């Protein structure tokens, strides 16, 4: 399922983000950039230790929630890994929605600054950070869509969703955004 924006495209995929051949893969990282489980662990396992070594050297202070930093991609097929720190869900009372939108915006900005033409996102904050899946789908897809509507050059953005349930949640939101019923 996809939605076209002039020269850019937003597409939903179900599968393993580490297998994609794109310019940049987004890593759902923690503030310390210390590696972890889920997507973060999978990216570090597939990419090898050079990713962690580089982030330790370049970003010794880590990365704040709502922000992102970039590194090379080690053994992955991508050129870059964008390490994005999404919010931990705390009931929605601590600006988590705004922080999640900022996280996606930061990733898109970094991708453009590094001349990326393709970018793959996971569903940031929806795993151990417990962000509600339907709300995360709405925030992320709206943020990406608004960015692509204003962006002049071609950029192919993939939302890579691990399972059928997540794919369904994101597909419903993308259908609403694209006006398909």
Strand 68-72 with 24-28, pairing: unpaired
CB contact at 8 A, 25 and 78: yes
DSSP string covering 44-85, please? HHHH-HHHHHHHHHH-TT---TT-EEEEE-TTSSSSEEEEE-
154-to-8, 14, 56, 88 alpha-carbon distances in Å: 5, 23, 32, 32
User: Catalytic one among 40, 134, 152, 163?
Assistant: 40
Whether 134 is catalytic is no
165-to-155, 161, 162 alpha-carbon distances in Å: 26, 9, 9
Q: Which residues contact 53 (CB under 8 A, 6 or more apart)?
A: none
Instruction: For residues 25 and 118, give the distance between their C-alpha atoms in angstroms, rounded to a whole number.
Output: 9
Catalytic residues: 40
């Amino acid at each position: 399922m996809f939605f076209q924006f002039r020269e850019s495209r937003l597409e939903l995929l179900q599968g393993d983000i580490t297998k994609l051949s794109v310019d940049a893969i987004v890593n759902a990282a923690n503030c310390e950039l210390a590696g972890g489980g889920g997507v973060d662990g999978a990216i570090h396992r597939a990419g090898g230790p050079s990713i962690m070594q580089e982030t330790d050297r370049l970003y010794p202070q880590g990365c704040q929630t709502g922000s992102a930093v970039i590194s090379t991609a080690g053994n992955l097929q991508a050129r870059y890994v964008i390490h994005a720190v999404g919010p931990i869900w705390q009931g929605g009372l601590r600006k988590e929605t705004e922080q999640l939108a900022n996280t996606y915006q930061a990733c898109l900005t970094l991708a453009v600054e590094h001349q990326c033409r393709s970018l793959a996102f996971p569903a940031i904050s929806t795993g151990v950070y417990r962000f509600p899946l339907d709300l995360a789908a709405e925030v992320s897809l709206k943020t990406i869509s608004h960015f692509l509507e204003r962006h002049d050059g071609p950029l192919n953005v993939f939302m890579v969703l691990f399972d059928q349930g997540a794919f369904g949640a994101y597909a419903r939101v993308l259908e609403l955004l694209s006006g398909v019923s």
